[in-house]
Amino acid sequence: MKTDRLKIRKTGIVMLGAALLLLAGSVFLGRFPAPYVTSLSDLMTQDLVQQVVWQIRIPRILSAFVTGMVLAASGMVFQMIFRNPIVDAGFLGVSGGAAFGASLGIVLLGGSMATIQGSAALFAVLGLGFSWIMAVRIRFGDWILRLILAGIAVSALFAAGTGLLKYLADPLRELPELTFWLLGGLWGITWTDTLQTLAVCIPCLIVIWLFRWRLNLLSMQDETIFSLVADASKERIVLLLTAVIATSAVVCKAGQVGWVGLIIPHIARRLVGSDAQKALPCSLVLGGIFLLLCDNASRTLLSGEIPLGILTSFIGAGLFLILLLTRPMLVGRK
């Protein structure tokens, strides 16, 4: 037991050190003034380089790290509360609903930031609600299968709605912007966007952090929870709404960035165990590292920007197959 605690502590220190180094090193990555790496002398002497770093790279780095943290934390909340190891915001209709809501705000509701964020949050909640109601009403299969089927159906409905909005969008002004946004990416992030994202996501992450020890209880069967004289319904609603609001906030800015919430919680559990008190902090740091690495690659490797959603899907799907082929994917403490 003492050996395990020391191992987990070392893992945490290594991950925090890696995250800090990555955050600092990302400032020097980019394609201006030279491809791949900005030298320290250029950064110290050229005003234009300093403006690029301060006005573009730093807000983008912060947004990428926070987006990864939010998607990973939300994925862990969904997996533990639904006791389902293969769900995340993308599989439950949350990301699809947020994308549809944001597209609706851009194309038909004026395009103001408040309208886009409000519409995204509303349809993200509706997506989760529809998925849960349909899963309850499906009459075959176990809970895991029913929830996945319901999430796929709801996500497909929202995808169809988003496709209709793309058809209705102005082909010269709105359609290109909407298409690139749906592919996922942080190329348009400003300090204003970053501060708006932080204002929503930081309180949500604090709530999830404070409830991390209750996630172990909420991942148990209802009969077990009732035997412990606990009413978990309110806590489940609070955590689910918090995860949905945070997810919709990052989807508004970054578009649809998939697979982070599915694979990162599983990697965290394999590193530090299934206890949510340890797995949640590990997921937060891992999610930030993973998405920041992907964003660094998307803005550095080629002369043109690689959509972030394509990179996360490519890497995430490969990691998911590896996880499936190794050990069973489990959720919660037994």
Range of lowest pLDDT (73-77, 105-109, 270-274): 105-109
Which residues have C-beta within 8 Å of that of residue 246, sequence separation ≥ 6?
A: 70, 73, 74, 200, 201, 204, 205, 208
Predicted confidence (pLDDT) per residue in 211-253, tens digit: 988 888 888 776 676 666 566 778 888 898 899 899 988 988 8
Q: What is the pLDDT of residue 2?
A: 64
| Cβ atoms 216, 277 nearer than 8 A | yes
The token duo for 98 is: 């947020």
Q: What is the DSSP string of 114-136?
A: HHHHHHHHHHHHHHHHHHHHHHH
CA distance 296 to 317: 19
Q: In 3-state terms, what secondary structure has residue 201?
A: helix
For the beta carbon of residue 293, count every other beta carbon within 10 angstroms: 16
Average pLDDT of the residues in 165-194: 86
Backbone angles phi, psi at 298, to 5 degrees: -65, -30
Whether cis (ω within 30° of 0) applies to the bond prior to 307 is: no
Q: Residue 229, Cα to own-chain centre: how many angstroms?
A: 33
Backbone angles phi, psi at 229, to 5 degrees: 55, 50
What was the pLDDT predicted at 109? 82
51 pLDDT tier (thresholds 50, 70, 90): very high
> Please, what is the average pLDDT of the chain?
87
Q: Residue 286 and residue 15: Cα distance in Å, rounded?
A: 8
> In this predicted structure, what is the pLDDT of residue 49?
92
For residue 146, the model assigns a pLDDT of: 84
Residue 4 has pLDDT above 80, yes or no: no
At 251-295, the pLDDT tens digits run 888 988 889 999 999 999 999 988 899 999 999 999 999 999 999
> Could you tell me which of 266, 214, 279, 222 has the C-alpha nearest to residue 240?
214
On the question of pLDDT at 11 being above 80, the answer is yes
Predicted pLDDT at 290: 96
Residue 108 has pLDDT above 90, yes or no: no
pLDDT at 298 over 90: yes
Residue 91's pLDDT band, with cuts at 50, 70 and 90, is confident
Q: Are 60 and 253 in contact (CB under 8 A)?
A: no
Residues 72-85 have a mean pLDDT of: 89
Q: Quick one: what percent of the chain has pLDDT higher than 90?
A: 40
* 55 band by pLDDT with thresholds 50, 70 and 90: very high
- Concatenate the DSSP letters of all residues of 30-86 into one string: SSSSSSSB--HHHHHH-HHHHHHIIIIIHHHHHHHHHHHHHHHHHHHHHHHHTT-TT
Confidence at 192, pLDDT banded by 50, 70, 90: very high
Helix (H) or strand (E) segment spanning residue 274:
none
Please provide the distance, in angstroms rounded to a whole number, between the alpha carbons at the two ends of the chain: 17
Residue-level pLDDT at 231:
65
* Of the candidates 131, 126, 253, the residue with the CA atom closest to the CA atom of residue 182: 253
DSSP 8-state code for residue 316: H
Q: What is the pTM of this model?
A: 0.90
**Residue 177 confidence (pLDDT):** 75
Q: Which residue has the higher pLDDT, 227 or 145?
A: 145
Q: What is the pLDDT of residue 230?
A: 62
Contact (CB, 8 A) for 230 and 40? no
**Average of per-residue pLDDT across 299-305:** 88
Two structure tokens written together for 36: 């791949």
Instruction: With a cut of 60, say whether residue 99 has pLDDT above it.
Output: yes
Q: Please tell me what DSSP assigns to residue 323.
A: H
Band of residue 84 on the pLDDT scale cut at 50, 70, 90? confident
Residue 110 has pLDDT above 80, yes or no: no
